[in-house]
Chains A and B, each alone.
Chain A
Amino acid sequence: MTRPFLSVENLVVHFPTPDGVVRATDGLSYTVEPGKTLGIVGESGSGKSVSSSAILGLHRNTSAQVSGRIWLDDVDLLTLSDKDMQARRGKDVAMIFQDPLSALHPYYTIGDQVAEAYRVHNNVSRKAARDRAIEMLDRVGIPNPKLRVDDYPHQFSGGMRQRAMIAMALINDPQLLIADEPTTALDVTVQAQILDLLQDLQSEFKTALIMITHDLGVIAEVADEVLVMYAGRAVEYGTTKQLLTAPSMPYTLGLIQSVPDLSSDVNEPLRPIPGNPPSLLDPPSGCAFAPRCTFKHLVADGLPDTVMPELEEIAPGHLRRCHLKEHDLSKLTPLAVGDVA
């Protein structure tokens, strides 16, 4: 059997601190195929950004302990030297960051910054790199790119800066693109444009896309598969439809229910998940979600508080980490399929 295009296997990222080891990511596995989108959902501190930065080798080995395997096209990225990784970063694998204002350098023009990745990885003249940058800015929908290429970041609006970031990430036609909350800082109208743009470019270049977000609406619109993370571990993994219409564990359900949509009953109070996410320094001994779980009384012997459930397959391609029995799953009320507007 051939290996999937991107295969993350048992990824562990630990940060030793004076107060103890922060288990930011603990035993994470997933795969992504070319042209497909994996959505990673979770709250702040669930390890979604940390695990993705590991793919690009962005963790300093003096402060982070990274282990596991990250296979990209049959090469384990974690075994590469810094130099070899550098040759791939920005070429085969690229990342779009959440906040374009802090990710762009204020002293360099947009054109210089977009062209830089191209010049580093291709032996081309300044002129050729600049032309390529103009071409990319045009492709991501910056009006008048020949003039705007010499603008500084502060002369761009938020949506245009994010487009410039996308142009920068896509300039070498990467095979894998990681978008870390690419639209969180943007208005909904601009967000819609950026998401549409990413999908158009993805179908054009057959890029594998990892979309990190906390917005399940965004997930529903762009992702083929979804990975839900909690306290550094995968708690549910399946197709977008499986997860949003038939969530198989209480945290995913809680995320779905806590968000109002444009048709929910305004007289009902919202249904938040009680409590706060656990500390990664001292995670609960059993199921990490147990202290906040409203279903744990359905499990006998206080199991959730003492034993960490394993990730199990409940349907083809649908995994979950939960003690709840199959027959109790019907008590989790999912999004009704007939509820389509």
Chain B
Amino acid sequence: MSGPLLEVKDLTMHFPIRSRGLIPRTVGHVPAVDGVSFSINAGEALGLVGESGSGKSTTGRLITRLHQPTSGQIIFDGQDIAQWSSRQMKPLRRDIQMIFQDPYTSLNPRHTVGEIIGAPLEIHKLVPKQGRLRRVQELLEIVGLNPEHYNRYPHEFSGGQRQRIGIARALTMQPRLLVADEPVSALDVSIQAQIINLMKDLQKEFNIAFLFIAHDLAIVRHFCPQIAVMYLGKIVENAPREELYTNPQHGYTRALLSAVPDMRQATVGGRRERIRYVAGQEEITPATAS
């Protein structure tokens, strides 16, 4: 093995704050991602958790190069792609694909499912025109949809089915890394499990590495053997899941875990002990009986 598939070193992204007025000037910066480092091996999954505004989505968008990093390295397959131009990136976009959170807004309503899934084939001119439909139908079958539905429109599908279409589109190019940004949080619970199982099967079958961005700690624990916790643009803890969940080291991780609602609470009643993490301090609210 020649090292990890993806290695991120000291990645930083500063969003400029512009002044109001006729001639906007940059008056400061928001460090959305602030010196983030991690690595993912081929076929493995890294979970990235944190609250909204912690920079986890920005990190995902930096790796897919939808944003331009301010500094740092993104080493994919041995090459630092952090400052590549979009022309240089184009062949690499086959290897790195993205699954988006909202299956309702991430599919073009005016395109048929066949056009949506086939678009990457057209752009990269990999499969001759005659072969495209066959490939699209193959992909629909892989994600558990009826291959005959290629000429339907997104509105004819339910949320879970649409997310399957989004996954099929990401698979079209046989990627080696999938960045999944909250792929199930917009779905009903009974459907979430279907999609998670599908992604797990695909990961095994096609040896795809995942950067799995989510705020649901139970789902991340299920999907990712290694989990990184982000807080205010920094990774505060990065550990194997058993360690992270049984012996969290950082105060913010402990606060996060204490806040997850637990079905087993029904058997004891009352309220669990909660930990709040404010300005580097842990505050503990004791459990109460019902």
Which residues of A pack against B, CB within 8 Å? 43-44, 158, 187-193, 195-196, 199, 214-221, 240-241, 243-245, 254-256, 258-262, 264, 266, 269-274, 276-277, 335, 337, 339-341
Q: Give the distance in Å from the alpha carbon of A221 to the alpha carbon of B225 in the complex.
A: 28
* CB under 8 Å from chain A, chain B span 261-278: 261-269, 271-272, 274, 276-277
Contact yes or no, A255 B217, CB < 8 A: no
Instruction: Specify which of A195, A258, A261, A262 is in contact with B190 (CB 8 Å cutoff).
Output: A258
Instruction: State whether A272 and B266 are in contact (beta carbons under 8 Å apart), knowing that A189-B256, A215-B261, A218-B261 are contacts in the complex.
Output: no
Other than the given A189-B51, A261-B264, 14 more pairs (CB < 8 A) read A187-B52, A188-B256, A189-B259, A195-B261, A217-B260, A217-B261, A217-B262, A221-B262, A243-B266, A260-B221, A262-B257, A270-B197, A272-B192, A335-B267
Task: Judge if B17 is at the interface, Cβ distance under 8 Å.
Answer: no
Among B158, B192, B241, B262, contact of A220 (Cβ-Cβ < 8 Å): B262
- Residue among A219, A262, A274 making CB contact with B221, cutoff 8 Å: A262
Query: Is B222 in contact with A270, judged by CB distance below 8 angstroms?
Result: yes
Task: Tell me the B residues contacting A by CB distance below 8 Å.
Answer: 51-52, 158-161, 188-194, 196-197, 200, 215-219, 221-222, 225, 241, 245, 255-269, 271-272, 274, 276-277, 285
Q: Which of A256, A264, A269 contacts B200 (CB 8 A)?
A: A269
A341 to B262, CA, bound (A): 10
B218 touches A260 (CB 8 A): yes
Whether the pair B256, A258 counts as a contact (CB closer than 8 A) is: no
B159 to chain A, nearest CB (A): 7
Report the minimal beta-carbon distance from B164 to chain A, rounded to whole angstroms: 11
Which of the listed residues B51, B219, B263 has the most CB atoms from chain A within 10 Å of its own CB?
A: B263
Q: A255-B189, A269-B200, A272-B190 are in contact. Are A220 and B265 (CB under 8 A)?
A: yes
Contacts of B200 in A (CB 8 A): 269
Q: Is the interface of A mostly helix, strand, loop or mixed?
A: helix
Do residues B190 and A339 form an inter-chain contact, with CB atoms below 8 A?
no
Chain A residues with Cβ below 8 Å from B259 are 188-189, 191-192
Contact of B267 with A244 in the complex, beta carbons under 8 Å:
yes
Q: Which residues of A contact B51 (CB under 8 A)?
A: 187-190
Is A258's CB under 8 angstroms from B264's CB?
no
A215 touches B274 (CB 8 A): no
Q: Which 9 A-B pairs rank lowest in CB-CB distance, beginning with the nearest?
A: A217-B261, A272-B193, A192-B259, A270-B193, A220-B266, A187-B51, A273-B190, A258-B193, A272-B194
* Residue numbers in B under 8 Å from A277 (CB-CB): 158, 188
Q: Note all chain B residues with C-beta closer than 8 A to A243.
A: 266
Known contacts A189-B255, A262-B257; A335 and B264 CB within 8 A of each other: yes
Evaluate contact between B267 and A259: CB separation under 8 angstroms: no
Given A44-B159, A158-B52, A262-B257, also A196-B263 (CB < 8 A): no
Q: Write the chain A residue with the least CB distance to B195.
A: A272
Most buried by B among A187, A199, A240, A262: A262
Smallest Cβ-Cβ distance to B272: which chain A residue: A221
Residues from chain A with a CB closer than 8 A to the CB of B277 are 189
Residue of B nearest to A217 (CB): B261
A-B contact pairs, 27 of them (CB 8 A): A43-B190, A44-B159, A187-B52, A188-B215, A188-B259, A189-B277, A191-B261, A192-B259, A196-B285, A218-B261, A219-B263, A220-B264, A221-B262, A241-B266, A255-B190, A256-B263, A258-B192, A258-B193, A260-B221, A261-B218, A262-B221, A270-B222, A272-B193, A276-B160, A335-B263, A335-B264, A341-B264
Distance between Cα atoms of A158 and B215 in the complex (Å): 15
Bound complex: CA of A215 vs CA of B216, how far in Å? 11
A226: nearest chain-B partner, CB-CB: B266
